[in-house]
Amino acid sequence: MDDARRSALTGWVLAIVRAMQVRGIDADAVLAEIGMDASRLEGGYSRYSQDQLSQLWKRAATLTGDPCFGLRVAEQVRPSSFHVVGYLMMCSSNLLRSLQRFTRFTRLISDSATAGLVETSGQVIVEFHFDTGGEPPIYQTVDTVLASVVNLLRWIAQDELPLAKVCFSHASTDAQDEFAQFFGCPISYDAPRTRLTFEKADLLRPIMSSDEELASMLESAAQRFLEQRMAGRFAIRVRDLMIAQLPDEVPTKARTAKLLGMTERTLLRRLKDEGTTFAEVLKQLREELAFRYLRRGLSLSEVAYLLGFSDNGTFSRAFKDWTGRRPSTVTNEFAGAG
């Protein structure tokens, strides 16, 4: 996506502002310094650019000096923070349905985050990917996203919601105890993927505020908003669904078309209208993720697995076809730069 078109809901910014105000920081002055119009926080479906949001996060992290600031922001998140997506989650029949809808419409909350949901026989895994179009997001941003999802689900359920495991791709901080207390489960840092893992039984409890008839109307509205935001960017929607399928399976036309609710023929035609193909979108995605994972120091076997390759050799050959180099040379370059 064009970096200039990336944006996030004002409700997300409002949660950051409120967390700053709790710490005694003049948030209005910070917004003015960045050039963010504070009047846009008053409500409605408004958005701020990703560049402004990144600047706000950096200023807030510096001014608070709090390694747990991500948790402070999450405490301020309510259904209204996610606009129609939040209300849709609240009206869902149970927390699993709520999460399914959240992952489907994550792009409405922020253009720089995608989420995929995988169900096993006993667990539900929500995996997150972040792409701000520039530098990787600071770790507090990632903390807030995961903690906000958990906090919102607990708020909707009006009950505690245990987790099986939490994985962060960033390094641990000096606040591990507070994070362990908040999530109430084992936490892995420097992990290959950023994800929340729940026991499925815990998500099947009914939501007292559920109203599936209303949810159906909200879902139609969310779909309309999504279509409007993604107009002319169909390839990005396909890319999001490919991310959701990896690494458990290699993305296929049939599976992706089914997730989009259309035929393979329509899928291929719409990609062709945007001057690309299914194979090209998948190749670009794998190449982009390969560089990201190698930069983080993952082993070749880990990268091959995460990208859906059968073994190291197959991945290495594909990487050389993409870039003209072997992945080991790229790994050495990143190691030397560090």
Name which of 8-17, 165-174, 222-231 the model is least confident about.
222-231
Q: Is 162 helix (H, G, I), strand (E, B) or coil?
A: coil
| Residue 333, pLDDT score | 66
Measured N-to-C along each axis, helices 10-22 and 50-64 cross at an angle, to the nearest 10 degrees, of: 10
Got the DSSP string for 204-263? -SBPTT--HHHHHHHHHHHHHHHHHHTTT-HHHHHHHHHHHHTTTS---HHHHHHHHTS-
Residue 3 has pLDDT above 60, yes or no: no
What are the sequence ranges of the domains in the chain?
A: 3-203, 232-338
pTM given for the model: 0.79
Which of 48-64 are b and which e, b meaning 16 or more Cβ less than 10 Å from the residue's Cβ?
bbbbbbbbbbbbbbebb
| Residue 69, pLDDT score | 94
Residues facing residue 128 across a β-bridge? 115, 194
Residue 219 has pLDDT above 70, yes or no: yes
Residue 321 has pLDDT above 60, yes or no: yes
**Strands across the sheet with 187-188, in order?**
113-119, 123-130, 194-199, 165-167, 187-188
Q: Name the DSSP class of 38.
A: G
| Residue 236, pLDDT score | 86
Residue 41 has pLDDT above 90, yes or no: no
Residue 4 has pLDDT above 60, yes or no: no
Report whether the peptide linkage leading into residue 79 is cis, meaning its omega lies within 30 degrees of zero.
no
Residue 32 is inside which H or E element, if any? helix 27-34
Query: Do residues 97 and 115 make contact, with C-beta atoms less than 8 angstroms apart?
Result: no
Q: Name the DSSP class of 324.
A: S
Residue 305 has pLDDT above 70, yes or no: yes
Compute the distance between CA of residue 309 and CA of residue 63 in angstroms, rounded to an integer.
44
- pLDDT band at residue 57, thresholds of 50, 70 and 90? very high
Q: Which of 211, 73, 81 is nearest to 144 (CA)?
A: 73
Give the residue with greater pLDDT, 227 vs 184. 184
- pLDDT, one tens digit per residue, over 58-83 is 999 999 999 999 999 999 999 999 99
Which residue is it, tokens 């040379």? 329
Residue 93 has pLDDT above 90, yes or no: yes
| Residue 336, pLDDT score | 56
- pLDDT band at residue 335, thresholds of 50, 70 and 90? low
- pLDDT band at residue 234, thresholds of 50, 70 and 90? confident
338 Cβ contact partners less than 8 Å away, ≥ 6 residues apart: none
Cα–Cα distance list, 60 to 7, 13, 28, 110, 338 (Å): 18, 11, 12, 19, 26
Got the DSSP string for 41-109? GGSSS-EEEHHHHHHHHHHHHHHH--TTHHHHHHTT--GGGGTHHHHHHHHSSBHHHHHHHHHHTHHHH
Per cent of the chain over pLDDT 90 is 55
Residue 33 is inside which H or E element, if any? helix 27-34
Q: Name the DSSP class of 164.
A: S
Residue 98 has pLDDT above 60, yes or no: yes
Mean pLDDT of the 281-297 span: 86
The verdict on domain 232-338 having CATH code 1.10.10.60 is yes
Q: Name the DSSP class of 175.
A: T
- pLDDT, one tens digit per residue, over 118-139 is 888 899 999 998 887 777 888 9
Residue 144 has pLDDT above 60, yes or no: yes
| Residue 33, pLDDT score | 94
Q: Which CATH superfamily is domain 3-203 in?
A: H-NOX domain (3.90.1520.10)
